[in-house]
Amino acid sequence: MAAVGQELPLTISSLSRNSRPNFGVGIIEFFIRMPSRLFPCPIGYFFQHNRRMKNLIRISEKLKEADFFLRQMTRSHGNIEELNYYFSAFVSAARSVTFVLQYVGSVVEGFDSWYADVQSRQRSDKVAKYLLEARNESQKTGAQPIAYGEVIRLPSGEETLINFFSYIGSSPPAEVPDMDVLTTCNHQMRNLVQIVIEFFDKFEDSVWDASQEKRSTVENLSSVRHKIHGGETPDVLWQQLVDVIGGTDFLPPRPSQEIIDLRKRYE
C-alpha cells in the first residue's frame, strides 16, 4: 500500500489479483485504504443501497457497535464515570441487536419458530436477563449500576482493577450476576455473536442473493459516486471499480463476512 503522500498505483489489477479469491474485494480495499479524510467508507457501503442487503448489514453493524462499546469499557475500567457511560451505551446497543434481528427476520420464513427458541434461551440466562433489566432501568431512571472496583493481584504479580455492580441502598432490577462487570458483558456479547451466527447460518442464503445484489449495485454505482472521495475519484480508477464489480469473477461480500473478526474474538 502506498503511504500518504506517495504516488498511488495507476491501476489496481495487481491488487485485485492479490486480494482474497472469490470476494473480488481488491479494488474496494484499494478505496478503503485511502486516507480516511478522502474516503470515510466501510466495505459494505457499495452494497447498502439495496434494501435487503442493507437490512442484513444492519445486524452486523449493530453487533459491531456493541463490541465497540464493550472494548471502550475495557479501556476505561479505571474511571467509574466513563465506565458507566460506556456500559449504558453497550447494553443499549446489545438490545438493539435483537431488535434489528427481529425486524429483518419478520419476513423470513421459519424465523419466528427459530427466534422463539432464542428468546427462551435468553430468558433462562441470568446474565442476559440482568443486562436487559439494567438497560431498561438506565433508560427510564438514569441509574448507573457500576459503583466500585477492587484491586487484585494476578498470579504474575501484576495488580489490576476489577469492577462490580453495586446496589447499596437500592434494589437491583434483576438478580445480579456473580461476576465482575467486564466478564458479565463479555458473556452477553458472546451470546449475541452466537445468535447472529446462527441467524446467518440458517437464513442468510434465503435472504441474500449474490446475483441480485451485484446487478443492483452495478445499476446504482453512478448514484453513489459523488459520495466517494467527494466525487473526485479519477475516471480511470472509477471505471476499474465498475469493471471489477461488474466482472464475472466478482461476488459481493456476504453480510456474515462483516463479523468474521467478532466470531474469532468471542469464540
**Which residues touch 178 (CB under 8 Å, ≥6 apart)?**
none
Q: Tell whether 5 is covered by a domain.
A: no
* Cβ density class 9-19: b for 16+ within 10 Å, e for less: eeebeebbeeb
pLDDT for res 52: 53
**Which residues touch 153 (CB under 8 Å, ≥6 apart)?**
159
Domain that holds residue 50: 13-265
Q: Tell whether 2 is covered by a domain.
A: no
- β-strands 146-153, 159-165 pairing: antiparallel
pLDDT for res 100: 94
Q: Is the pTM of this model over 0.85?
A: no
Positive or negative, the Cα torsion across 62, 68, 74, 79?
negative
Contact between 20 and 68 (Cβ < 8 Å): no
Contact between 213 and 252 (Cβ < 8 Å): yes
Contact between 199 and 59 (Cβ < 8 Å): yes
Question: Which residue's C-alpha cell is 466500585?
Answer: 148
What residues pair up with 159 in beta bridges, in sequence order?
153
Ordered per-residue pLDDT tens for the chain, 267 residues: 334 333 333 333 333 333 333 333 444 554 544 443 333 444 444 444 445 555 788 899 999 999 999 999 999 988 999 999 999 999 999 999 999 999 999 888 999 999 999 999 999 999 999 999 999 998 888 888 987 778 877 788 787 888 889 887 788 889 999 999 999 999 999 999 999 999 999 999 888 877 777 777 777 777 777 777 677 778 888 888 888 888 888 777 788 988 999 999 998
Q: Tell whether 46 is covered by a domain.
A: yes
pLDDT for res 9: 36
Q: Where are the beta strands (DSSP E) in the chain?
A: 146-153, 159-165
pLDDT for res 10: 32
- Residue 210 to residue 129: CA distance in whole angstroms: 37
As a whole number of angstroms, the longest Cα–Cα distance in the chain is: 67
What is the SS3 assignment for 161? strand
pLDDT for res 8: 35
What H or E segment, with its residue span, contains residue 66? Answer: helix 51-75
Which triple of cell numbers denotes residue 90? 453497550
pLDDT for res 180: 93
pLDDT for res 29: 52
pLDDT for res 28: 52
Q: Tell whether 193 is covered by a domain.
A: yes
Q: Tell whether 235 is covered by a domain.
A: yes
Provide the domain count of the chain. Answer: 1
Nearest to residue 65, comparing CAs of 164, 183, 192, 182?
Answer: 192
pLDDT for res 142: 84
* Cβ density class 179-206: b for 16+ within 10 Å, e for less: bbbbebbbbbbebbbebbbebbeebeee
Q: Tell whether 116 is covered by a domain.
A: yes
- Residue 55 to residue 53: CA distance in whole angstroms: 5
Q: Tell whether 260 is covered by a domain.
A: yes
Q: Tell whether 6 is covered by a domain.
A: no
